[in-house]
């Protein structure tokens, strides 16, 4: 089993989706329990990663490689480093929570919903461990299919528009990456990422390839100005869809940057680092202001996701600046680590925020902030969790949101105090939009009659929220295990930054 641990992790949920589908609409409960079983099993198997992966050894471990397409030399190649392990654990953990979260909420064809979720989970895990560029690309694109169905069938009123926009937008970005990969294949005659990383490329080639990769990943992250699909997709997606989208799918974009842009085109990456940094700062500051004026709760959190992902891209590219211009490897390491922690933390925080909104939406069927007010009076326990996640969202020390942002800000201060200044704006803006949201939704008198009828969270919802809360607090109070898990991989990435390929 340990020889094929990664394959098992990918194929268990994908294959598990088949019996769930077969359970059919006639036996919804069977489908629910089966899918929960598969999700829990996947999580348990993913825990073995912690045992099998040795953080101190570094490098890619648990390698599996089989010749897939002989005449092209394409391999079914899987391996993980610390970053992948952390992301896979988060994916399988969130996988359980979205299935538990959708339990009786999804009444229409629950078997199809659960099956799509499981497939999505398997494919996402696959993306995080693929070491062959073509395999990565295939999985990266295949994710769109279950997500397209999830938003389209179980989404809100404008779901068709949102899901088509989501699909075509993200597809648009990735096809240029495909061209870049095919170009690289012409030069290297392989899609193996490690070989591509060692391939010498001229600056002109690197620049073109850099932009091809950037379009693909920037749309996925999403970075300003290609973020416009995200608010639509989030608002219309069912709760589970939003959670997976925010918690895991956005990370595919930044993960892709780490695996493709950093090793394959480091010189172009360094040359255009300023561009990404500016884009990240715009995301942090401008999108923060945009979030401030939203009237839809989901949209607000969606925009705050864009702003938070700005920290991840900032952390990654500030490392470029630090390594290439001042040779400050320590600070670069800090920035990169901060970006990684932020990635994981944002997964939990945004997932939790969307779950909270889902809980309220299931009771009132509205996401407008003005339709709420005084929720704390009828749902005190829910209010407790909501405030906790809101605090994490604005980066309160002690929660996971603080750790990553703080590390990135420190690193950017070493690069350029101005960058740090703009990045630090998030502490104010983030607090502003989140606290104002809490104030308008939770506090105050009950002004809307349907708020008075809202029922306190049930056991299932409590379980989901407690699980999220535990992870948010654990990462915030004791991030050391996570940092240690990723440490060797991150320092390897930083060392790669210094290598010139021209």
Partner 1 sequence: MPTFNDILILLPEFYLVAAACLLLLLDAFMKPAQRPLLHWISIVVLLVAIYLVVAGQPEQAVTAFGGMFVRDDVAEILKVFALGTTAMVFVYARPYLIDRKLLSGEFYTLMIFAVIGIMLLVSAGNLITVYLGLELLSLSSYALVALNRDAKLPPEAAIKYFVLGALASGMLLYGMSMVYGASGMGGTPSLDLAQLHNVMSYTTAPTLLLFGLIFMIVGIGFKLGAAPFHMWIPDVYQGAPTPVTTFIASGSKLAAFGMAYRLLDAGMGDLSHHWQLMLAVLAVLSLAIGNLVAIVQTNLKRMLAYSTISHMGYLLLGLAAAGPEGYAAAMFYAICYALMGVAAFGVMLALTRAGFECEEIADLKGLNQKSPWMAFLMLLAMFSLAGVPPLFGFWAKVLVLEAAIHANMLWLAIVGIVFAIIGLYYYLYVIKVMYFDKPAEGSTLQVQSDKPLRVVLSLNALSLLVLGLYWGPLLGWCRRAFGL
Which residue's structure tokens are 């890619």? Answer: 60
Nearer to partner 1, 152 or 395 (CB): 152
Nearer to partner 1, 171 or 425 (CB): 171
Q: Are 287 and 227 in contact (CB under 8 A)?
A: yes
Indicate whether 139 belongs to the interface with partner 1 (CB under 8 A).
Answer: yes
Phi-psi region of 189 (alpha: psi -120 to 50; beta: other; left: phi over 0): left
Which residue's structure tokens are 């897939």? Answer: 68
Express the helix, strand and coil content of the chain in percent, nearest 5 each: 80, 5, 20
Phi-psi region of 444 (alpha: psi -120 to 50; beta: other; left: phi over 0): left
Provide the minimum distance between the beta carbon of 146 and partner 1 in the complex, in angstroms, as a whole number. Answer: 11
Provide the minimum distance between the beta carbon of 413 and partner 1 in the complex, in angstroms, as a whole number. Answer: 41
Provide the minimum distance between the beta carbon of 212 and partner 1 in the complex, in angstroms, as a whole number. Answer: 10
Provide the minimum distance between the beta carbon of 278 and partner 1 in the complex, in angstroms, as a whole number. Answer: 27
Span of 26-34, 174-182, 346-354, 472-480 interacting with partner 1 by CB under 8 A: 174-182
Backbone angles phi, psi at 76, to 5 degrees: -85, 85
Provide the minimum distance between the beta carbon of 148 and partner 1 in the complex, in angstroms, as a whole number. Answer: 7
Nearer to partner 1, 48 or 185 (CB): 185
Indicate whether 160 belongs to the interface with partner 1 (CB under 8 A).
Answer: yes
Name which position in 47, 50, 168, 293 contacts partner 1 (CB under 8 A): 168
Size, binding site for partner 1 by CB under 8 A: 35
Indicate whether 11 belongs to the interface with partner 1 (CB under 8 A).
Answer: no
Nearer to partner 1, 109 or 440 (CB): 109
Name which position in 171, 211, 384, 436 contacts partner 1 (CB under 8 A): 171
CA distance 293 to 453: 28
Grouping H, G, I as helix, E, B as strand and the rest as coil, residue 500 is coil
Provide the minimum distance between the beta carbon of 486 and partner 1 in the complex, in angstroms, as a whole number. Answer: 29
CA distance 304 to 433: 9
Q: Which tokens belong to 293? A: 């004026």
Indicate whether 129 belongs to the interface with partner 1 (CB under 8 A).
Answer: no
Nearer to partner 1, 159 or 251 (CB): 159
Indicate whether 463 belongs to the interface with partner 1 (CB under 8 A).
Answer: no
Provide the minimum distance between the beta carbon of 220 and partner 1 in the complex, in angstroms, as a whole number. Answer: 15
Burial 161-182 (b: 16+ CB within 10 A, else e): ebbebbbebbeebbebbbebbe
Strands 74-80 and 61-69: antiparallel
End-to-end alpha carbon distance in the chain: 42
Contacts of partner 1 in 15-74 (CB under 8 A): 68-72
Span of 134-142, 193-201, 292-300, 303-311 interacting with partner 1 by CB under 8 A: 134-142
Provide the minimum distance between the beta carbon of 152 and partner 1 in the complex, in angstroms, as a whole number. Answer: 4
CA distance 484 to 183: 37
Q: Would you tell me how many other CB atoms lie within 10 Å of the CB of residue 444?
A: 14
Nearer to partner 1, 241 or 288 (CB): 241
CA distance 466 to 385: 8
Provide the minimum distance between the beta carbon of 135 and partner 1 in the complex, in angstroms, as a whole number. Answer: 10
Name which position in 43, 53, 113, 167 contacts partner 1 (CB under 8 A): 167
Q: Are 163 and 148 in contact (CB under 8 A)?
A: yes
Nearer to partner 1, 131 or 280 (CB): 131
DSSP per residue, 249-301: IHHHHHHHIIIIIHHHSHHHHHHTHHHHHHHHHHHHHHHHHHHHT-SBHHHHH
Indicate whether 87 belongs to the interface with partner 1 (CB under 8 A).
Answer: no
Name which position in 145, 427, 432, 446 contacts partner 1 (CB under 8 A): 145
Altogether, the residues listed in the chain come to a count of 502
Provide the minimum distance between the beta carbon of 203 and partner 1 in the complex, in angstroms, as a whole number. Answer: 18
CA distance 51 to 361: 40
CA distance 457 to 460: 8
Alpha helices in 77-198 (DSSP H): 82-101, 110-129, 133-142, 144-154, 159-188, 193-197
Provide the minimum distance between the beta carbon of 65 and partner 1 in the complex, in angstroms, as a whole number. Answer: 15
Nearest to 472 by CA among 360, 388, 381: 388
Going residue by residue from 217 to 256, which x/- string records binding to partner 1, judged by CB under 8 A? ----------------------------------------
CA distance 23 to 111: 7
Provide the minimum distance between the beta carbon of 395 and partner 1 in the complex, in angstroms, as a whole number. Answer: 38
Provide the minimum distance between the beta carbon of 432 and partner 1 in the complex, in angstroms, as a whole number. Answer: 37
368 contact partners, CB below 8 Å, separation of at least 6: 295, 296, 297
Name which position in 36, 37, 60, 175 contacts partner 1 (CB under 8 A): 175
Going residue by residue from 177 to 196, which x/- string records binding to partner 1, judged by CB under 8 A? -xx--xx-xx----------
Indicate whether 1 belongs to the interface with partner 1 (CB under 8 A).
Answer: no
CA distance 29 to 51: 34
For binding to partner 1 (CB under 8 A), which residues are involved? 68-72, 109, 112, 134, 137-139, 141-142, 144-145, 148-149, 152-153, 159-160, 163-164, 167-168, 171-172, 175-176, 178-179, 182-183, 185-186
């Amino acid at each position: 089993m340990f020889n094929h641990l990664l394959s098992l992790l990918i194929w268990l949920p994908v294959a598990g989706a088949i019996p769930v589908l077969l359970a059919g609409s006639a036996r919804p409960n069977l489908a629910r329990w089966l899918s929960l079983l598969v999700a829990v099993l996947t999580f348990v198997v993913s825990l073995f990663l912690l045992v099998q992966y040795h953080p101190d050894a570094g490098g890619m471990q648990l390698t599996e490689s089989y010749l897939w397409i002989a005449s092209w030399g394409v391999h079914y190649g899987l391996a993980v480093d610390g970053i992948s392990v952390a992301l896979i654990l988060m994916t399988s953990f969130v996988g359980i929570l979205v299935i538990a979260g959708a339990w009786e909420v999804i009444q229409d064809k629950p078997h199809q919903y659960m099956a799509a979720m499981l497939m999505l989970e398997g494919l996402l895990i696959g993306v995080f461990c693929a070491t062959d560029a073509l395999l990565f690309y295939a999985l990266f694109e295949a994710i769109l299919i279950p997500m397209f169905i999830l938003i389209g069938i179980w989404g809100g009123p404008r779901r068709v528009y949102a899901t088509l926009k989501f699909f075509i937008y993200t597809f648009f970005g990735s096809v240029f990456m495909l061209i870049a990969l095919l170009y690289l294949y012409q030069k290297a005659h392989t899609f193996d990422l490690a070989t591509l990383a060692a391939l010498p490329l001229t600056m002109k080639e690197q620049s073109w390839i850099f932009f091809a990769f950037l379009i693909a990943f920037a749309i996925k992250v999403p970075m300003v100005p290609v973020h416009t699909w995200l608010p639509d997709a989030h608002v219309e997606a069912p709760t589970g869809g939003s959670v997976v989208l925010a918690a895991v799918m956005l990370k595919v974009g930044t993960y892709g940057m780490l695996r493709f842009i950093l090793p394959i085109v480091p010189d172009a990456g360094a040359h255009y680092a300023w561009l990404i940094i500016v884009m990240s700062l715009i995301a942090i500051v401008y999108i923060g202001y945009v979030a401030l004026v939203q009237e839809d709760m989901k949209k607000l959190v969606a925009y705050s996701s864009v702003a938070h992902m700005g920290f991840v891209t900032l952390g990654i590219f500030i490392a470029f600046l630090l390594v290439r211009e001042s040779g400050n490897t320590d600070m670069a390491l800090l920035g990169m680590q901060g970006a990684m922690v932020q990635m994981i933390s944002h997964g939990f925080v945004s997932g939790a925020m969307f779950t909270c909104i889902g809980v309220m939406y299931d009771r009132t069927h509205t996401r407008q902030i003005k339709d709420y007010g005084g929720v704390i009076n009828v749902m005190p326990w829910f209010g407790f969790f909501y405030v906790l996640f809101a605090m994490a969202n604005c980066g309160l020390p002690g929660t996971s949101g603080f750790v990553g942002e703080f590390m990135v800000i420190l690193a950017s201060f070493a690069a350029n105090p101005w960058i740090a200044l703009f990045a630090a704006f998030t502490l104010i803006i983030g607090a502003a939009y989140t606290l104002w949201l809490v104030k308008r939704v939770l506090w105050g008198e009950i002004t809307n009659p349907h708020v008075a009828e809202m029922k306190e969270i049930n056991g299932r919802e409590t379980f989901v929220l407690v699980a999220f809360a535990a992870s948010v607090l654990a990462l915030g109070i004791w991030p050391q295990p996570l940092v240690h898990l990723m440490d060797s991989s991150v320092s390897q990435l930083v060392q790669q930054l210094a290598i010139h390929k021209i």
